[in-house]
Amino acid sequence: MIKIAVVGASGRMGQTIIESINQNDKVTLGATLDKGDDLASVADQFDVLIDFTRPEATLDYLKACQQLNKSIVIGTTGFDDAGLEVINNAAKQIPVVFAPNMSVGVNLTLKLLDMAAKVIGPDSDIEIVEAHHRHKVDAPSGTALKMGEVVANALGRDLSTCAVYGREGIEEPRDRQTIGFSTIRGGDVVGEHTVSFFMEGERVEITHKASSRSTFANGAVRAASWLNDKSAGLYNMQNVLDL
């Protein structure tokens, strides 16, 4: 049976992941760790590590997994370019599933967005609105950025040059080549994302709403189970779900 270690175990997401592991008969909880705990001390107790912490902590655990030759599932968001490069380099040595959102529903939504962008994207104004709880520190969310990346790629655009994150003071008409982002933070919203394609006379909206963190936890555990026998490489939830 696959043994999973969970970091950030005392946090809200960590507790949800542990609950998901305990409800899954294909995996078992091997070890739990919190800030300051030494991963090497429990090396013989797990096969795959699941990390939903903060970028700086994740990179430390990633380095430890490389040294221990262990697989890792990363659900942390908010990495800068240097952090992303570290993850890419680590995946040359160990198996890594890295996804801004582990939800099965969100990853199906990404597939739908790719289809919609190819069919109606060139003739529409595209806007992405996301909402999360008041404690979330990165904005836009990693999921919103991934949605924008999927849409941009389908249209042959570079998100880094076509994304618009705020319009205060802009006095020019909207450029159809851009992709707009809006962020909402408040209350206990788990996660809501809507991508709108505005056309003349009609609008298509693709929305995903999460009402429980268990959706992310279940996806992460599914990813850990899938990753266990894989060779070194960088994988995402599209690979896990065969999409």
Per the CB < 8 A criterion, the answer to whether 105 and 208 are in contact is yes
Q: Distance between CA atoms of 155 and 39, rounded to whole angstroms?
A: 43
Helix residue ranges per DSSP H, 8-54:
12-22
Q: Distance between CA atoms of 73 and 93, rounded to whole angstroms?
A: 14
Question: Looking up tokens 């609105």, which residue turns up?
Answer: 129
Angle at which helices 12-22 and 214-227 pack, to 10 degrees?
60
Active site residue 136: yes
Active site residue 208: no
Per the CB < 8 A criterion, the answer to whether 129 and 194 are in contact is yes
Q: What is the DSSP letter of 230?
A: P
Query: Which one from 3, 35, 111, 136 is the annotated catalytic residue?
Result: 136
Query: Which one from 132, 146, 193, 208 is the annotated catalytic residue?
Result: 132
Q: Distance between CA atoms of 111 and 76, rounded to whole angstroms?
A: 21
Structure tokens at 105: 């529903």
Write out the catalytic residue numbers: 132, 136
